[in-house]
Structure 1
């Protein structure tokens, strides 16, 4: 009997990434009974001392495995406690979707990033940097969202007000701005690396209009990637590790749990959905 597989998307990410979501279901169907699950239609909780799931209001058995393409660590935990193997797992989701935690875990292993100050709105009576410009980021931002360039105290306060949630970090602006490198990693192995750049913004995200070209990693870069993989105390099935490009040196920036894949297709002609589902099938012994 085939393993049942949920491909989890929230409605906004599905609308934005419909082609890839449908391709994941298609590729996964070669190995599993793969179905798309929109998280707004999914409910979970406890009844009579059991973890229960409902989809469109109807009780449903949890799957055998789940591919999580949404950021909801509690859902991943609920599935795991119900015996489901989640790709990426809840610990990866918890750490990598919190920039402050990511910097702390990597710094513990001596991995250098831009000097970072960690804040929580609940404990800040005044907002402002010692010197400008700085970048203010939501701890929980994703895909370039809630990353704000700030040039003064008034802008700083406005930026903090715009950030959803309480946690945020502050970093100096890395020059030249608008250039970074993404390294795609699956099961601890490097798949590809791409240089992202923007002519008009301090953000280089490809999904926000940046340019992308293939990037050749040096041996020292590969060693740094391996060190970052080892710094996260959970197996990262498929992630993007992002670096700022400062001169010719890579400086760790963040880890994308729900990593975008457009550059894999357009720069390298790699079918990320096929690679990921084949990897999962091998892990599951299918």
Structure 2
């Protein structure tokens, strides 16, 4: 049995440990893994693997293989919605609370700081808190033509919680904080520690997973007036925060889940 793990070139260097862990674990189950780079891949000429681990954030890649009845981790649906914040909010409207989206006019007339963020950004990139016209223009220029949204700013800045999910089940929640920025991303220097989810937070996660089943992902929550509200889904979620702050071998757990799934 053989599977592909698919990456973009720009994400390859920082994911070497992830690739190593998942390959070594699947090899223990006599499953081979081949690394495939999207920029070098011609789908029409690609052989059919037994499964695909799509870490490219490209839903078209997932759907190509799904069209051949090949199991893909995560599904094309998850990859599409998770990597488009506008679609995420539209899909989860009425299911879980999140900070309201605004029109440009509503944002400018609110008289309060607001958020501009790209729809397809990840890792805290292309997220800006805006307080005046100049900052708005600078933020929009940073979008570099990508679709973006205006959003009401939460009250509790520099704090969020990421919930790691494997096989549609909660594995571990991590709280991230920053005293330097309104963004608390670990990759941007935020601090992290294990977090115990409250009952209402677990309920929100389960509501999301009920409509968007996930193989391996992170669900992020920010805080407004002390209460968690949904922020985004990380499809190709990283693992460094887990390894540096817990004893959980999360990539091994994911690989073991894959081994079970592909042998059903």
Q: TM-score range by the shorter chain?
A: over 0.9
- Alignment partner, residue 63 of structure 1: 49
1:151 paired residue among 108, 131, 150: 131
Q: Is the 8 A contact 1:132 1:152 kept in 2?
A: no
Q: Secondary structure at the match of 2:99?
A: coil
Q: Secondary structure at the match of 2:120?
A: coil
- Alignment partner, residue 21 of structure 1: 19
Cα deviation, 1:206-237, whole Å, max 9, x if unaligned, reads 111110011111222111110111233xx311
2:246 paired residue among 264, 268, 276: 268
Give 5+ residue unaligned stretches, structure 1: 45-51, 54-59, 120-125
1:188 and 2:186 are equivalent in the alignment: no
1:243 and 2:242 are equivalent in the alignment: no
Richer in helix (by share) = 2
- Alignment partner, residue 179 of structure 2: 199
TM-score, normalised with respect to structure 2? 0.93
Displacement of 1:97 in angstroms is 0.7
- Alignment partner, residue 66 of structure 2: 80
Q: Secondary structure at the match of 1:202?
A: coil
Q: Secondary structure at the match of 1:113?
A: coil
Alpha-carbon distance in 1 for matches of 2:85, 2:218: 14
Q: Secondary structure at the match of 1:16?
A: helix
Q: Is the 8 A contact 1:128 1:153 kept in 2?
A: no
Q: Secondary structure at the match of 1:28?
A: helix
Alpha-carbon distance in 1 for matches of 2:176, 2:103: 26
- The number of residues matched between the two structures is 262
Alpha-carbon distance in 1 for matches of 2:40, 2:20: 17
Give 5+ residue unaligned stretches, structure 2: none
Q: Secondary structure at the match of 1:177?
A: strand
2:151 paired residue among 171, 178, 186: 171
Displacement of 1:268 in angstroms is 1.9
Detail structure 1 runs of 4+ shifted over 6 Å in the superposition: none
- Alignment partner, residue 99 of structure 1: 85
Alpha-carbon distance in 2 for matches of 1:195, 1:161: 31
Q: Is the 8 A contact 2:156 2:226 kept in 1?
A: no
Displacement of 1:145 in angstroms is 1.1
Two-structure CA RMSD over aligned residues (Å) = 1.8
Displacement of 1:285 in angstroms is 2.0
Q: Is the 8 A contact 2:158 2:179 kept in 1?
A: yes
- Alignment partner, residue 41 of structure 2: 42
Q: Is the 8 A contact 2:74 2:235 kept in 1?
A: yes
